[in-house]
Amino acid sequence: MQPAVRRDSNAGIVAGVDEAGRGPLAGPVAAAAVILSPDVPIAGLRDSKQLSVARREMLAAEIRAAALAWAVGWADAAEIDQMNILQASLLAMRRAVLALNMEPDHVLVDGNQCPSLACRVEAIVQGDCTVAAISAASILAKVERDALMQRCDQEFPGYGFGVHKGYPTQAHLRALEVHGVCAIHRRSFAPVRRLLES
């Protein structure tokens, strides 16, 4: 089902924001900010987790081409360890919004927490299922982070980052036992921390 487009005559320029990668043991958290064009609707937008890899990548290309503006922000593993995953996710969201080439008047964020921004910010629980711009941001964040983890698979072979994207699968946990902790692992996350302390 296509998410509804929020129509608020007082909203001005609206950006949707969502993140990807809160749960993995390795790699950064990514956030995307998207300002959709009201004149160029994109069919099939929904929460990125409800889409196949191929469909996500097709929609991501369409979003990049049709959106009025889009940007991706990151917070790396060291920042996650320093400030915790929630604060790092909010930082990545803030970076994504600030990287847009046009300034939004109103930012709609998936979830129940908002990054600190100068404009109006509204948190919407399950916004990635109900707000088109947030769905678009969800897709872009997921596609961009997956692509980065594919590159990490080349830089850190043996962990399977290209397959599990850093999530705590059995294969990833076995690779951690065999190869140890690498530079992009989140040292504050329990399975990694336990290895470092053993």
More confident residue, 132 or 49: 132
- Whether this model's pTM surpasses 0.75: yes
Task: Give the pLDDT of residue 10.
Answer: 61
Domains, the chain, ranges and CATH?
14-147 (3.30.420.10)
Residue 62 burial (CB count, 10 A)? 17
Task: Give the pLDDT of residue 49.
Answer: 87
What is the per-residue pLDDT across 95-127, written as a single tens digit (0 to 9) for each?
999 999 999 999 999 999 999 999 999 999 999
Cα–Cα dist 195/198, whole Å: 5
